[in-house]
């Protein structure tokens, strides 16, 4: 019976297409539906072509319906399936944000200093801020905080690299600001604070000021009239003070238990001839400090929810004084705990130093936890996103391992990527007494025959009926004498002898059942002549040389594949030699 006439089958396809559509904004995808049907009815594997045609047709019909029409059909026919689907979909949502009602539209921001590329340590801030903005149909802002041309000097190339990283992560900002473009705004606010006696220009020696503040006492500048401070401010702007000679301080509470909160510094002088800014050069020599610029911008940009690490708690307390001076309301602040990844160096200064000293070749060196390096290795942004959302914004510290991230990535890649053979540490295996010509048809994915296959013809040349293969030295060494071994998807052999450079075996039988009966090991192989050299760059930057099957010539750079019994890799270059970067097992 043609599948087209199988009413029961068509109904199952329709159900799966509708459920798939429900998960993808009303647009079902044929691939996953084919996968589901084959899992349910493996006997159809022999009719994949016909099945695909039928499924494509039904998916097309389903996609013509509106979402509410689709939903109605599911509710009527398979209400139970829908609740099950909803449950699995709902398990990974973030907890709600506080006080969303009163702010109208949720606005979040990610505010990096472009003095380094981004790494995994930033993932939590980026993904939570972006995800919450999406969840409430709000706005996600990227703000470059580049106001320290001396100690945290921004670098032009990193502005673009950060934008690229965000795009790759799927967290494209709705708006972008650069603080070095906004210096006049900060000056204006500084002046207002001075005029209203809520800030002052302190010209004390740092040590003198420190002693006073520790003793809860004002320095000699604090209580001078605002006119004096406005004059000092003009001198500051004109460049009459050198570095360290004048600081604008925001008045807080001299009795505050934390000395770091008392009258914190807001703007200071930087010798911009000596330390020019990469974007605005030597135009300004009064630069805002972190708490001042960030605090003002959060208000002016309408940030409703600040989501950041709990190391910023003191900054909130500092900024709240300034907000009070201006009569502003402080945004909701969520301070999550630290996220540590064991074995990953997340120190910016160490990364920068390593690059400068030549320890790392570039920002995507596989030893680094930069997004560039993760991308090069085939770690997907979806895996990073899922991991971060599962961890959520909780305040307790979280320690993760690379293996945690790999587990998320594996779950995404395993069903999605094609599989090929790669022989590490190859040894030549001669298989004798092959009785006939064999055709090995290797599916690109065992559960998805519809994705296609590659085919190798194993044709014994005549007299000695032998054929040469590459197998790994380890597989050859592990085979005990007279043990049955199966060359995957091909035939069963017995390895007769193994030397350091070659091995010999004889053909035994073709049937998979023979191998299954004795629990024979399945080993992968590459036909000599159907091979290409391949280098795999490992996470510790060492390389593994080996042989890939010739079908890999058709791969494109950036493709992520699985080398069977070896691991997931991202294809980096395809020339006469294949270069791949290792992701994980
Ligand atoms: Zn002073």
User: If you measure from the C-alpha of residue 206 to the centroid of ligand 1, how many angstroms do you get, rounded to a whole number?
Assistant: 8
Asked if residue 508 has pLDDT above 70, the reply is: yes
pLDDT in tens, 262-311: 999 999 999 999 999 999 999 999 999 999 999 999 999 999 999 999 99
**139-144 and 175-178 strand pairing:** parallel
User: If you measure from the C-alpha of residue 208 to the centroid of ligand 1, how many angstroms do you get, rounded to a whole number?
Assistant: 8
Tell me the two tokens of residue 104: 């109208």
User: If you measure from the C-alpha of residue 253 to the centroid of ligand 1, how many angstroms do you get, rounded to a whole number?
Assistant: 15
User: If you measure from the C-alpha of residue 399 to the centroid of ligand 1, how many angstroms do you get, rounded to a whole number?
Assistant: 43
Q: What is the mean pLDDT of residues 568-575?
A: 97
Asked if residue 132 has pLDDT above 70, the reply is: yes
User: If you measure from the C-alpha of residue 312 to the centroid of ligand 1, how many angstroms do you get, rounded to a whole number?
Assistant: 26
- Contact between residue 419 and residue 562 where contact means Cβ atoms under 8 Å apart: yes
Q: How many CB atoms lie within 10 A of CB 308?
A: 23
Tell me the two tokens of residue 471: 């197998």
Higher-scoring residue by pLDDT: 80, 476? 476
- According to DSSP, the residues that pair with 199 across neighbouring strands are 250
The pLDDT score that the predictor gives to residue 82 is 63
Residue-averaged pLDDT of the chain: 93
Asked if residue 57 has pLDDT above 80, the reply is: yes
pLDDT in tens, 76-112: 888 777 655 544 444 468 999 999 998 889 999 999 9
Q: In three state form, how does the secondary structure of 383-449 look?
A: HHHHHHHHHCCCCCCEEEEHHHHHHHHHHHHHHHCCEECEEECEEEEEEECCCCCEEEEEECCCCCH
Q: Which of 270, 274, 266, 265 is nearest to 285 (CA)?
A: 270
User: If you measure from the C-alpha of residue 202 to the centroid of ligand 1, how many angstroms do you get, rounded to a whole number?
Assistant: 4
Asked if residue 490 has pLDDT above 90, the reply is: yes
The span from the CA of 136 to the CA of 157, in Å, is 33
The pLDDT score that the predictor gives to residue 84 is 57
The span from the CA of 95 to the CA of 131, in Å, is 11
The span from the CA of 532 to the CA of 551, in Å, is 9
- Contact between residue 263 and residue 222 where contact means Cβ atoms under 8 Å apart: yes
Q: In three state form, how does the secondary structure of 188-248 look?
A: HHHHHHHHCCCEEEECCCHHHHHHHHHCCCCCCCCCCCHHHHHHHHHHHHHCCCCCCCCEE
The pLDDT score that the predictor gives to residue 89 is 44
Q: Helices 402-416 and 381-391 meet at what angle, rounded to 10?
A: 130
User: If you measure from the C-alpha of residue 203 to the centroid of ligand 1, how many angstroms do you get, rounded to a whole number?
Assistant: 5
User: If you measure from the C-alpha of residue 257 to the centroid of ligand 1, how many angstroms do you get, rounded to a whole number?
Assistant: 20
Cα-only R_g, the chain? 32
The pLDDT score that the predictor gives to residue 66 is 86
The pLDDT score that the predictor gives to residue 102 is 87
User: If you measure from the C-alpha of residue 491 to the centroid of ligand 1, how many angstroms do you get, rounded to a whole number?
Assistant: 86
Asked if residue 16 has pLDDT above 70, the reply is: yes
User: If you measure from the C-alpha of residue 200 to the centroid of ligand 1, how many angstroms do you get, rounded to a whole number?
Assistant: 8
User: If you measure from the C-alpha of residue 151 to the centroid of ligand 1, how many angstroms do you get, rounded to a whole number?
Assistant: 23
Q: What is the mean pLDDT of residues 330-348?
A: 89
pLDDT in tens, 404-436: 999 999 999 999 999 999 999 999 999 999 999
Q: What DSSP designation does 3 have?
A: G
Could you tell me if residue 482 is left (phi over 0), alpha (psi between -120 and 50 degrees) or otherwise beta? left
Asked if residue 446 has pLDDT above 50, the reply is: yes
Tell me the two tokens of residue 72: 């109605």
- Contact between residue 421 and residue 563 where contact means Cβ atoms under 8 Å apart: yes
Tell me the two tokens of residue 154: 């921004």
Grade residue 183 by pLDDT with cuts at 50, 70 and 90. Answer: very high
The span from the CA of 471 to the CA of 528, in Å, is 10
pLDDT in tens, 246-261: 999 999 999 999 999 9
User: If you measure from the C-alpha of residue 119 to the centroid of ligand 1, how many angstroms do you get, rounded to a whole number?
Assistant: 40
pTM of the model: 0.82
Q: Which of 67, 64, 79 is nearest to 15 (CA)?
A: 79
User: If you measure from the C-alpha of residue 266 to the centroid of ligand 1, how many angstroms do you get, rounded to a whole number?
Assistant: 14
User: If you measure from the C-alpha of residue 40 to the centroid of ligand 1, how many angstroms do you get, rounded to a whole number?
Assistant: 78
User: If you measure from the C-alpha of residue 330 to the centroid of ligand 1, how many angstroms do you get, rounded to a whole number?
Assistant: 28
User: If you measure from the C-alpha of residue 233 to the centroid of ligand 1, how many angstroms do you get, rounded to a whole number?
Assistant: 13
Q: What residue spans of 257-347 are helical by DSSP H?
A: 290-300, 313-326
Asked if residue 233 has pLDDT above 80, the reply is: yes
Tell me the two tokens of residue 171: 């967290």
Q: What is the mean pLDDT of residues 13-21?
A: 91
Q: Distances from the Cα of 530 to the Cαs of 422, 424, 525, 561, 570, in angstroms? A: 12, 15, 11, 19, 21
The pLDDT score that the predictor gives to residue 83 is 58
């Amino acid at each position: 019976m043609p599948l087209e006439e199988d009413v029961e089958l068509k109904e199952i396809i329709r159900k799966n297409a509708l459920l798939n559509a429900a998960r993808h904004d009303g647009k079902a995808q044929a691939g996953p539906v084919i996968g589901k049907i084959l899992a349910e009815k493996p006997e159809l594997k022999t009719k994949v072509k016909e099945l695909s045609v039928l499924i494509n047709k039904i998916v097309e019909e389903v996609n013509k319906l509106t979402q509410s029409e689709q939903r109605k059909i599911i509710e009527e026919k398979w209400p139970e399936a829908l609740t099950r689907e909803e449950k699995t979909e709902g398990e990974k949502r973030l907890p709600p944000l506080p006080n969303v009602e009163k702010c109208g539209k949720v606005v979040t921001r990610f505010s990096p200093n472009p003095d380094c590329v981004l790494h995994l340590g930033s993932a939590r801030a980026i993904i939570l801020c972006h995800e919450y903005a999406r969840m409430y149909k709000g706005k996600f802002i990227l703000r470059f905080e580049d106001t320290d041309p001396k100690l945290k000097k921004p670098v032009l190339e990193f502005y673009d690299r950060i934008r690229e990283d965000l795009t790759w992560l799927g967290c494209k900002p709705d708006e972008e600001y650069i603080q070095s473009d906004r210096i006049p705004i900060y000056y204006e606010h500084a002046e207002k604070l001075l005029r209203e006696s809520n800030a002052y220009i302190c010209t004390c020696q740092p040590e003198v000021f420190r002693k006073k503040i520790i003793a809860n006492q004002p320095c000699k500048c604090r209580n001078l009239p605002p006119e004096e401070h406005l004059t000092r401010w003009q001198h500051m702007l004109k460049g009459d003070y050198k570095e360290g000679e004048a600081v604008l301080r925001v008045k807080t509470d001299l009795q505050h238990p934390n000395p770091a909160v008392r009258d914190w510094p807001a703007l200071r002088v930087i010798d911009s001839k000596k330390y020019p800014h990469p974007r605005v050069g030597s135009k300004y020599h009064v630069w805002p400090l972190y708490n001042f610029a960030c605090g003002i911008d959060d208000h002016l940009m309408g940030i409703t929810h600040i989501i950041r690490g709990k190391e910023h708690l003191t900054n909130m307390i500092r900024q709240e004084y300034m907000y009070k001076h201006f009569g502003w309301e402080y945004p909701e602040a969520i301070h999550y705990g630290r996220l540590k990844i064991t074995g990953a160096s997340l120190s910016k200064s160490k990364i920068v130093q390593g690059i400068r000293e030549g320890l790392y070749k570039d920002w995507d060196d596989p030893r680094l936890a930069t997004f560039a390096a993760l991308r090069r290795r085939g770690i997907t942004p979806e895996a990073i996103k899922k991991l971060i959302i599962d961890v959520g914004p909780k305040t307790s510290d979280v320690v993760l391992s690379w293996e945690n991230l790999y587990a998320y990535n594996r779950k995404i890649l395993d069903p999605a990527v094609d599989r090929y053979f790669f022989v590490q540490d190859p040894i030549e295996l001669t298989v004798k007494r092959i009785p006939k010509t064999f055709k090995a048809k290797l599916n690109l994915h065992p559960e998805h025959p519809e994705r296609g296959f590659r085919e190798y013809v194993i044709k014994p040349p005549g007299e000695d009926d032998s054929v040469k293969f590459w197998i790994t030295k380890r597989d050859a060494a592990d085979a005990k004498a007279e043990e049955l071994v199966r060359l995957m998807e091909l035939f069963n052999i017995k390895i007769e002898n193994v030397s350091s450079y070659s091995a010999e075996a004889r053909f035994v039988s073709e049937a998979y059942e023979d191998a299954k009966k004795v629990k024979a090991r399945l080993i992968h192989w590459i036909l000599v002549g159907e091979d290409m050299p391949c280098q795999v760059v490992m996470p510790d930057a060492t390389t593994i040389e080996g042989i890939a099957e010739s079908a890999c010539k058709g791969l494109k750079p950036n493709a992520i594949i699985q080398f069977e019994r070896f691991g997931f890799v991202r294809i980096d270059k395809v020339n006469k030699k294949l270069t791949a970067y290792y992701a994980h097992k």
